[in-house]
Structure 1
Amino acid sequence: MILLCTINFIVAQNNEEIVKKAKEIEIKWGFKAKNKDIITLIDFSKSIEEARLYVIDLKNSKILLTSNVDHGSGSGTGLTPNLFSNAIGSNATSLGCYVTLQTYNGMWGYSLKLNGLENDKNSNALKRNIVVHSSKRMYSKFSWGCFSVPDCNANKLIDLIKNGSLIYAYQ
């Protein structure tokens, strides 16, 4: 599979639906965010081969960045995930709302810790070490449940969303 490195700085013209969804999530979960101007949506109904991660500037109603993003091997090895889990050891993607924490350099290079906000969906994110990281050093196109993105997008993405913005993963 070829991962396309696409960083698109575009004004949301045909993307009103994405911006609208982002604003709805901010209304519901914004009280948990330190950075209320930025939200990231990940649409797992789209193929792994498509850009399905969107960073939205809520203040200006713009999509700042789009990217491919992997799903966990425990969510299935097809182009779209078919199983989601919060269980430790599942290697599956977890849906729901997260808040971004601090960055660190680890096994996957520059990475971003996440805290899952939903008890029934992603509350084990910290225990499972679910983070945002580059897919550069990965041996397959599937993660262990993390949100891994092409290397050319990783640092830019992490710097845009670190320290208290929301990520909402859905299908």
Structure 2
Amino acid sequence: MENQSVVRRQRLKRRARRMARRVLPFVASLFLATPLAAPMRTKAAPTMGAELRLPTAAVTKTVLFDQRLHDLYRDLQVEAQGLRFEVFEKAMTGYLNLEKSGKLGEKQLLTVVDFGLPSTEKRLWVLDLEAKQVKFHTLVAHGHNSGENMATNFSNENESNMSSLGFYVTEGEYIGKHGRSLKLQGLDEGYNTNALLRSVVMHGAEYVSEDFIRQNGRLGRSLGCPALPMDQKDAIIEAVGGQTCLFLNGPDESYSSKYLNQDVAMSTLLDRDNQMI
């Protein structure tokens, strides 16, 4: 489950950093001190009684994966926009798992919604992972019964009027009571798999605006849909429609997902790197 995987990965990260601090200076000194044509020595000089241990393959993969995610996070420049790295890391892990399972289309887009932030903040990002650009950063509403300004309660139940956390894949468009809307298929059993039954979709709403915030101190709330500003909903729906990944994050420690498999995410990303060589 997620908690076990995260703890394991954090442990590997700490171990890798300790290894790197010990090993990298030693390796660098070898390159500086040894001519390229000189034979490798079979024994190294004693290092104050400390045994030199090289990183394991698992530690190396973890370090590479962590570095790649931090590089992408930096290139997207989303930290200044309020997207926390731990949320981005979850979203990317799920995206890579979904890519590996063949559930995503050709668009390399990732939509992240962080319900850990108040509704008065722009907490939706549409990330173009290929171009390393933020296509949209805007407001988004949560469900009426999930909370006032902060979303604290989540449900997969029909007529709960709450938001549902987890990973989704976007489906087709339709015209409904809110006009142009986008169907969402929930993939996390027990958390959002009733999305289609509940008609949890992306749509525009007048209550998702800066004016509404100024008048009410928060956004309006939906019946569970990630509702968008009216002046941006068409462009966002157009961009993310057709089997792209949507991740709804929130302050629920019980949330877990099979798509938060770090090993699958690491192998997917490293395989992609190898194909580009």
Give the TM-score of the pair, scaled to structure 1. Answer: 0.85
Q: State the Cα distance separating 1:55 from its structure 2 match.
A: 0.3
- Measured against aligned partners, the alpha-carbon deviations of 1:76-128 in whole angstroms (never above 9, x if no partner) come to 2x211110000001010000000000011110011000110011110000000
The counterpart of 1:29, out of the listed 93, 98, 101, is 98
CA distance in 2, matches of 1:87, 1:22: 23
SS at match of 1:23: helix
RMSD of aligned residue pairs (Cα, Å): 2.1
* Residue pair 2:207, 2:220 contacting (<8 A) in 1 also: no
Relative contact order: is structure 1 or structure 2 higher (C-alpha 8 Å, sep ≥ 6)?
1
Cα pair 1:19 1:58 within 8 Å, conserved: no
Corresponding position of 1:40: 111
Report the equivalent of 2:127: 56
CA displacement at 1:43 relative to structure 2: 0.3
How far apart are 1:60 and its partner, in Å?
A: 2.2
Query: Given that residues 126 and 137 in structure 2 are in contact (C-alpha distance below 8 angstroms), is that contact kept between their aligned partners in structure 1?
Result: yes
Partner of residue 98, structure 1: 168
Between structures 1 and 2, the one with greater strand share: 1
Residue 14 (structure 1) shift: 4.7
More helix by share: 2
Measure the CA separation in 2 of the matches of 1:57 and 1:74: 32
Name the CA distance, whole Å, in 1 between partners of 2:178 and 2:77. Answer: 35
Q: Which amino acid aligns with 2:241?
A: K
1:133-168 CA-to-partner distances (Å, cap 9, x unmatched) read 001389x81000001011011001101100110100
Amino acid at match of 1:129: S
Q: Secondary structure at the match of 1:25?
A: helix
Bigger Cα Rg: 2
Cα distance in 2 between the residues matched to 1:143 and 1:53: 15
Q: CA deviation at 1:33?
A: 1.2
1:3 alignment counterpart? none
1:165 and 2:244 are equivalent in the alignment: yes
Q: What is the Cα deviation at residue 19 of structure 1?
A: 5.6
Q: What's 1:113 paired with?
A: 183
1:20–1:108 Cα change, 3 Å: same
Aligned residues: 160
Q: Tell me which residue corresponds to 1:125.
A: 195
Task: For 2:245 and 2:77, locate their aligned partners in 1 and report how far apart those are by CA, in whole Å.
Answer: 23
Q: Secondary structure at the residue paired with 2:126? A: strand
Name stretches of at least 5 consecutive residues in structure 2 with no aligned partner: 1-74, 209-218, 251-277
